[in-house]
Structure 1
Amino acid sequence: MKELEIRLLQTNKEMPLVQELERTVWGMDPIPTHQTVTAVKNGGIMLGAFDEDKLVGFSYGFTGFANGQTYLCSHMLGVHPEYQLMGIGKLLKDEQLKTARDMGYDLITWTFDPLESRNAYLNLSKLYGICDTYLENCYGEMADGLNKGLPTDRFQVSWWINSKRVTEKWNPSIAEYHRPFEVEETDKGNPVLRYDENILNLTKDGIEVPVPQHFQLIKGSEPELALDWRIKTRGIFQKLFDEDYAVVGVNRTSGPVHYYQCVKKAFIPLKRKEEAQ
């Protein structure tokens, strides 16, 4: 594979390439081209990653507006199965940041499944997004392979692209994260979350919350356990976000779980660098 070319996609001739890749990645009906073309002509951004003439990855976002703030809603990012785990998602997000910044955006948002730890590591520890919003059953029932059989709970990422958090790769200086959770294993070797909600110490500056390293394997071998992880972590994160915590990183381990790192939002610099002086 030669060096990939990443470029903007803006025409009717280019959008069917994205549709074909959508079908390959998710096995679902793709977004109509009249919608994507209209979006990119009105503040949206569609980027494609090409291996010579083959589209192997894309990111798609459209303009959003809420609470007086205009932002880019990054709705989809997909990479061809034969090209995954090659860093293409990171390349697309880096280019999306540059393009959005040039267009005048300060904020990019998107959602992801909080139990998919690989996505979490990219979004939080490599891109320096944060999350303080939990969307319960965000998309309702979905029938694709990744989502079938479970409520589609999502984290909503806020990527403040002109903040110190992003421009200087800021991380909190927490001496020690509190871990009030126990992780056991089933007979099949899958992790089980055990905790007493009454010992969740909300006075700590930093708290680490476990999530499975390989959630899709749990779904395949023990679907009831997958639902147990969904319901338990839903309650934990809803409680933390209600108490003004935000998720800022993923502590990866060699064991069956990784850990989300949660800190008080007051610690996180989200303003533009020049405004934070």
Structure 2
Amino acid sequence: MAAAEIRDLSGVADFRAAEALQRTVWGEGDVPDPAELMMVIQAEGGLAAGAFVDDRLGGYIFASPNATSRVQHSQRLAVLPEMRGRGLGVALKWYQRRWCLRHGIRHVRWTFDPMRAINAALNIDRLGARSTTYLVDYYGAMGGINEGLPSDRLLVDWFLDDPVVDAKSEGRLPRENVEDCLRVRLPHDLETLIRQNRNTALAARLMLRDSLRDAFASGYGISGFDCSDGTYILTPVFAAARPQEKK
């Protein structure tokens, strides 16, 4: 299969393909961002880009301007199931970083389901995003792959000129201080757990919620993710050392 081309979406066909891709990834019960909305947001300063393989949209990213100057809200990132394992998701995020830096944006925020290890591995380990905010049932009842569980989310901050993020963007592995850390492990194979026993999945959701909220309240924040055993690494008060927003 050919290498992916990462570029901004252009034309109605691209945006329709992005709308259809959402339905495939999140399931028919989910409500996708419509093509018309994505086109308007892009025209007004947002980002809508795709990973194209043999001229087919295999993954896409959608982000909008934030009420805070030089901050972007990243709304969606998705890769078709048959296209996974090719690095399209991380390629789209590094494309987003380059796009934002060209446009004077230094801080990107988004939410993700804290129980999904594949998302934690991308957002926290691969990209260097951080979190100190747990959102309880953020979207209310949802359909598709999220049906039946509270829509809890982590709000993450991605500081694009952070030295750690810069190192990760170049494939370097920065030395991370993990002294005095807490570790919170995710349930193994969430998708199977949801299919087989939603009550057990719900109990796991509530346990993770309590663990992370207690840690945040005690002055810890998520600064790493151990992909080998699906564990969040939380270190104390890293929020105090965050880069200052540039005026």
Paired letter, 1:231: L
**Secondary structure at 2:238's aligned position in 1?**
helix
Could you report, residue by residue, the CA deviation over 1:95-154 in whole angstroms, capped at 9, with x for unpaired residues? 01100111111111111111101110111111000011100001110110x211110100
Matching residue within 246, 249, 262 for 2:234: 262
Question: Structure 2 vs 1, CA of residues 42 and 265 (structure 1 numbering), >3 Å: closer, same or farther?
Answer: farther
Name the one with the larger helix percent: 2
Structure 2 counterpart of 1:166: 165
Residue 197 of structure 2: which of 222, 237, 240 is its match? Answer: 222
Runs of 4+ in 1 over 6 A off after TM superposition: none
TM-superposed deviation, 1:21: 1.3
Structure 1: any 5+ residue segments left out of the alignment? 176-204
Report if aligned partners of 1:163, 1:271 keep a CA contact under 8 Å in 2. Answer: yes
What's 1:140 paired with?
140
1:53 aligns with 2:28: no
Quick one: structure 1 residues 171 and 142, their matched pair in 2 at CA, closer, same or farther if it must change by over 3 Å?
Answer: farther
Q: Secondary structure at the match of 2:230?
A: strand
Contact 2:70 2:104 in 1 (8 A): no
CA distance in 1, matches of 2:10, 2:139: 27
Alignment equivalent of 2:213, drawn from 214, 238, 245: 238
Cα distance change of structure 1 residues 98 and 27 upon mapping to structure 2, 3 Å threshold: same
Identify the residue that residue 4 of structure 1 maps to in structure 2.
4
Task: Write the letter of the residue equivalent to 2:105.
Answer: Y
Alignment-derived partner of residue 151 in structure 1? 150
C-alpha spacing 1:229/1:37, structure 2 compared with 1 (3 Å)? same
Provide the alpha-carbon RMSD of the alignment.
2.0
Conserved 8 A contact 1:163-1:269: no
Deviates more, 1:4-13 or 1:162-171: 162-171
Q: Tell me, in whole angstroms, the C-alpha distance in 2 between the residues paired with 1:71 and 1:157.
A: 12
Higher mean alpha-carbon deviation, 162-171 vs 106-115, is at 162-171
- Map of 1:178 onto structure 2: none
Offset of residue 171 of structure 1: 5.1
Q: Which amino acid aligns with 2:85?
A: L
Match of 1:181 in 2: none
The answer to whether the Cα contact below 8 Å between 2:133 and 2:155 also exists between their aligned partners in 1 is yes
How far 1:269 moved relative to its partner? Answer: 4.5
Percent identical residues = 29
Letter in 2 for 1:102: R
* Equivalence map 1:200-215=2 (5 Å): 205-215=180-190
Q: How many residues end up aligned between the 2 structures?
A: 239
